[in-house]
Chain A
Amino acid sequence: MSAKPAGRLPITKTPKVYIGGAFVRSESARTYKVSDSSGAFFANMPQCTRKDLRNAVEAAAKAGPGWAKRTPYNRAQILYRLAEMIEARSAELVASLVQFGAREADASKGMSVCVDRLIHYAGWADKYEQLIGSVNPVASAHFNFTVTEPMGIVGVIAPDTPPVVGLLSMIAPVIACGNTVVALASEKVPYPAILLGEMLATSDLPGGVVNILTGFRKELVPTFATHAHIRAIYAAAGDEDRKALRFGAAASVKRVRFVDRDIQWFSDSAQGLGAIRDFVELKTTWHPIGS
């Protein structure tokens, strides 16, 4: 906790996770201690459980149909609004990242990346369809077209570092195409993700579209893998977690995608159409062309 200024004891914030548009503690009331880079006590973070994850999935399921039905133009504007929120509060995020050991220049660059990346995906929201979908020239008298559809709930497991750029780079493409997200924040530096949740709450994003948990990967990865209502996994993960996620995903034939091991988070190469393509379904419809 930051040093006590003379004369007045500051009010410190209780970190709460963002589930279903509300800020809540873990249902288990468990917490884990987080210290800043100097080793001083910072706060008790919610140590979310499998039950919290299931609750978040329920919230995401409720929000899903409405979000999927928003027009692409509307989703684009909401992502843009989120960028506005982050731009306006970037000083707070930078300060928080610095407090947990980031260099000021990196933290500040990271915030620019976050904002620009959101704008990038805001722009994609009403364009990817024309690149991924198609009208297909079948050799019979049928009109045949392929459109994309959101998959539903996507489980996002963010990298430990960079905590904000990583998390946001993974969430943005997934929601741009109409999915909802249950995310697990960086285990090492979870607090900036709590701040991000507060920004999501004040953008126009409907509650439940993005849910962010904090806690231990080890405890939550198996449930991410096996929860049948999570239709896809997007994870920054090492060998052991990759195997566990793939193995668990088999029971519900879940799509599993991993962030490239050599990803350059701050580079433009970390964004694009591919991340959207990975989290849409393709539906092909046939209809006879009659007289």
Chain B
Amino acid sequence: MPTTKDTREARGRLIFGDLWEFDPAPETADPKLKPRYDLFIGGKFVRPKTGKYFDSINPGNERKLAEIALAGPSDVDAAYRAAAAAFKGWSVLPGRERGKYLFRIARLLQDRAREFAVAETLDGGKPIKESRDFDVPMAAAHFFYHAGWADKLEYVAPGRTVAPLGVVGQVIPWNFPLLMLAWKLAPALAMGNCVVLKPAETTSITALKLAEILQDAGLPDGVVNFVTGAGETGAAVMGHPGAAKVAFTGSTEVGKAIMRQLAGTDRKMTMELGGKAANIVFDDAPIDQAVEGIVNGIFFNQGHVCCAGSRLLVQESVAARIVSKLKMRIRMLKVGDPLDKNTDLGAINSKAQLATIKRLVASGVREGATMYQPPCELPERGFYFPPTLFTNVTQSHRVAREEIFGPVLSILTFRTVDEAIEKANNTPYGLSAGVWTDKGSRILRMSTELKAGVVWANTFNRFDPSSPFGGYKESGFGREGGRQGLLDYASIK
């Protein structure tokens, strides 16, 4: 039988679509959840002074997982007082000793990795293969990396002396709950600061489970405090006069509000905000690798990634080929039960986020872009959204300008290198970018011209504790990771 390209593609579709059904492969490790989680202040779990609790649900099936304490201003105040008291001892502890606590935390987290992965997936909706292979090991790696810095701080700022700042207030998002927590805690603690941290309201559980590890590690009481709640609790954490520095990861809109809130203070800030990254594919790129990179860039963690490659810029000459391969590729993505080990796209984190995604996708259709969604059955309960492509997108479309934070890719084309650069930089954001080409000099040219804090060349969505991460322009300021990130938690004398 003659094999033309068309029949090969047709056969490929047949095989993946019909012949190879996957059996359910649920991860069954026990997440060891408590029915109710209190605040973690001064080394102990304490009931909130508000007396109130809110439900944390599993976005994969909308069932209640646990009750989480709602911290009010006086709880936040108690956390800051505990942290300030702990700072006296923690900041003068020899770096070697501080480091040992961080090493212990890393090890204890590795011990309980699978349990944490299941808890993370239940609470946040991400596929178990991601929480198991990425979130939890990377969180442990952050503690391990920064532990080693604690007794080497004199090398962080050449010619200057560094000292801890005091109590640091931190607010983190729901897309990588445990990992963001590790990004924030580890450098702050290594430098000798104490912390008051608020996890996102929909994903507090792994933070409170980590509190158990902090207890097991014997971390001195009050060095780390977790207060849980929604935006009002976050504003109280950011605005507390006891904070020497605040670090925020979240939306640009909230970041700006915090900057205004703190305008009258001399507080140091790190802002890790939104993004609308361009992923740029040139005609000489290794096409199949690029397609994998595009898929990883936008569908990793359901697209709930601030550095997601949400704007695909393809050179016109290969656009049709890439779009056709992409369509075929996303037909094979498995959307569904986050706990299933074969799942590629899990649940959208919350009902509110699902509504935001639907609203922006509707705007894309309304504004004239062409939508493609593969045939795919979504579970009846839970918050799910199919992988979505938009072609015929112009730069003025909302789907090309606004952060969707979902599995939605907008595809634009370009002809020349200069046009690619101009389109890529035509955004108020500047967090990350991707470049796919076989030409080394072009990679370096693009990397130089792209206004973004992280540039992935022939790869995408890579992270490492030693690699500084953070944005240009309205994506924020400050870095996390590496020597550079550590410095943002130091007072330099």
- Which B residues are CB-close (under 8 A) to A239? 264
Distance to closest chain B CB from A269 (angstroms): 10
Q: Which residue of B lies closest to A255 (CB)?
A: B477
Which among A2-10, A130-138, A161-169 touches the partner chain? A130-138
Answer yes or no: A51 CB below 8 A from chain B CBs.
no
Question: Of all chain B residues, which has the CB nearest A69?
Answer: B448
Which residues of chain B are near A255, meaning CB under 8 Å?
Answer: 477
Question: Which A residue sits closest to B452, measured CB to CB?
Answer: A283
A-contact bits for B119-153, CB 8 A (1 contact / 0 none): 00000000000000000000001000000000000
Q: Is A140 an interface residue (CB 8 A)?
A: yes
**Residue of chain B at shortest CB distance from A228:** B428
Contact B467 A146 (CB under 8 A): yes
Which residues of chain B are within 8 angstroms of A258 by Cβ–Cβ distance? Answer: 266
Nearest chain A CB to B468 CB, angstrom units: 5
Give which listed residue, A132, A231, A253, contacts B252 with CB less than 8 A. Answer: A253
Contacts of B475 in A (CB 8 A): 253
The reply to whether B477 and A253 contact each other, CB–CB distance below 8 Å, is: yes
Alpha-carbon distance between A134 and B467 when the two chains are bound, in angstroms: 9
Against A, the Cβ 8 Å flags (1 = close, 0 = not) of B149-161 are 0000000011110
Give the CA-CA distance A285 to B259 in the complex, in Å.
Answer: 29
CA distance A26 to B477 in the complex (A): 34
| CB atoms of A250 and B453 under 8 A apart | no
List the A side residues contacting B479 at CB < 8 Å: 282
Nearest neighbor of B447 in chain A, beta-carbon distance: A285
Interface residues of A, dominant DSSP: mixed
- When distances are taken between beta carbons in the complex, the residues of chain A under 8 Å from B158 are 131, 273
Distance in angstroms between the alpha carbons of A249 and B458 in the assembled complex: 35
Instruction: Determine whether A41 belongs to the interface, using a CB cutoff of 8 Å to chain B.
Output: no
Q: How far is the CB of B144 from chain A (nearest CB, A)?
A: 10
Known: A138-B462, A146-B484. A281 touches B260 (CB 8 A): no
Residue among A136, A255, A284, A288 with the most chain B CB within 10 A? A284
Instruction: Find chain A residues with CB under 8 A from B285 CB.
Output: none
Residue of A nearest to B444 (CB): A285
Interface magnitude class on chain B? 35 or more
Chain A residues within 8 Å of B452, by CB: 283
A288 engages B459 (CB within 8 Å):
yes
Whether the Cβ atoms of B159 and A250 lie closer than 8 Å is no
CB pair B263 A246 closer than 8 Å: yes
Contact assessment for A243 and B457 in the assembled complex, using a CB-CB cutoff below 8 Å = no
Q: Is A144's beta carbon under 8 Å from chain B?
A: yes
Contact of A283 among B260, B453, B464 (CB under 8 A): B453
Docked-complex contact B474 and A249, CB < 8 angstroms: no
Q: For residue A282, which residues in chain B have a CB less than 8 angstroms away from its CB? A: 453, 468, 470, 479, 484
Contact B468 A284 (CB under 8 A): yes
Q: Which of B443, B452, B462 has the most CB of A within 10 A?
A: B462
Whether the Cβ atoms of A134 and B484 lie closer than 8 Å is yes
Do A142 and B447 have beta carbons less than 8 Å apart?
no
B470 touching A286 by the CB < 8 A rule?
Answer: no
Proximity bits, B453-491, A CB within 8 Å = 1, else 0: 111111100101011111011111101001110000000
A139 within 8 A of B: yes
Partner of A139, one of B464, B469, B470: B464
134-163 of chain A: CB within 8 A of chain B? 134, 136-140, 142, 144, 146, 149, 151
Q: Is the CB of B457 within 8 A of A253?
A: no
Instruction: Tell which of B263, B271, B464 touches A138, judged by Cβ atoms closer than 8 Å.
Output: B464
B462 touching A252 by the CB < 8 A rule?
A: no
Residues on A with beta carbons closer than 8 Å to the beta carbon of B455: 283-286
Assembled-state Cα–Cα distance A69/B459 (Å): 27
| Nearest opposing residue in chain B for A68, CB measure | B448
User: B256 contacts A250, CB within 8 Å?
Assistant: yes
Q: Among the listed A142, A244, A251, which residue makes an inter-chain contact with B459, where contact means beta carbons less than 8 Å apart?
A: A142
Residues of A near B459 (CB, < 8 A) are 142, 286-288
- Chain B residues with Cβ under 8 A from A246's Cβ? 259, 262-264
**B255 contacts which chain A residues (CB < 8 A)?**
253
Q: Quick check: is A274 within 8 A (CB to CB) of the other chain? A: yes
One of A249, A252, A253, A284 near B454 (C-beta < 8 A): A284
- The minimal Cβ–Cβ distance linking A275 to chain B, given in whole angstroms, is 11
List residues of chain B with CB within 8 A of the CB of A272.
Answer: 159-160
Residue of B nearest to A225 (CB): B263
Q: Is the CB of B260 within 8 A of A247?
A: yes
Q: Given the known inter-chain contacts A250-B263, A255-B477, please indicate yes or no for A140 contacting B256, CB distance below 8 A.
A: no
Question: With contacts A283-B455, A284-B468 known, is A139 near B484, CB below 8 A?
Answer: no
- Residues of chain B within 8 A (CB-CB) of A144 are 464, 466-467
The complex places the Cα of A253 from the Cα of B270 at a distance, in Å, of 11
- The CA of A151 and the CA of B479, in the complex, are separated in Å by 15
Which residues of B in the span 257-300 have a Cβ within 8 Å of any Cβ on A?
257, 259-260, 262-264, 266, 271, 273
Cβ-defined contact, B259 with A250, below 8 A: yes
User: Is there an interface contact between A253 and B273, defined as CB atoms closer than 8 Å?
Assistant: yes
Structural contact, A283 and B454, CB atoms closer than 8 A = yes
Contact (Cβ within 8 A) B259 A146: no
Nearest-CB residue, chain A, relative to B273 = A253
Query: For B492, what are the chain A residues with a Cβ–Cβ distance below 8 Å?
Result: 274
B466→A284 contact, CB < 8 A: no
The complex places the Cα of A286 from the Cα of B461 at a distance, in Å, of 10
Residue in chain A with minimal CB distance to B138: A139
Contacts of B470 in A (CB 8 A): 282
Contact A231 B473 (CB under 8 A): yes
In whole Å, how far is B475's beta carbon from the nearest beta carbon of chain A?
A: 8
Shortest Cβ distance from residue B305 to the other chain A in the assembled complex, whole angstroms = 15
Given that A140-B462, A283-B453 are known contacts, is A146 also in contact with B482, CB under 8 Å in the complex? Answer: yes
Chain A residues with CB below 8 A from B466, complex form: 136-139, 144
Residues of B within 8 A of A247 (CB): 259-260, 263-264
Within 201-259 of A, Cβ neighbours of B (below 8 Å) are at 231, 239, 242-244, 246-247, 249-253, 255, 258
Task: Check B259 against A136 for contact (C-beta < 8 Å).
Answer: no
Q: Which of A139, A142, A282, A288 has the most CB of B within 10 A?
A: A282
Q: Is the CB of B259 within 8 A of A134?
A: no
Which among A244, A272, A285 has the highest number of chain B CB atoms within 10 Å? A285
Contact B141 A139 (CB under 8 A): yes
B430 closest partner in A (C-beta): A281
Compute how far the CA of A93 lies from the CA of B263 in the bound complex, rounded to whole angstroms: 37
B376 nearest CB across to chain A (Å): 31
The 5 residue pairs across chains A and B that have the minimum distance between CB atoms: A250-B259, A247-B263, A138-B464, A246-B263, A253-B474
Give 8 A-B contacts (CB < 8 Å), ordered by A residue.
A134-B484, A136-B468, A139-B141, A139-B466, A244-B263, A250-B260, A286-B455, A287-B458
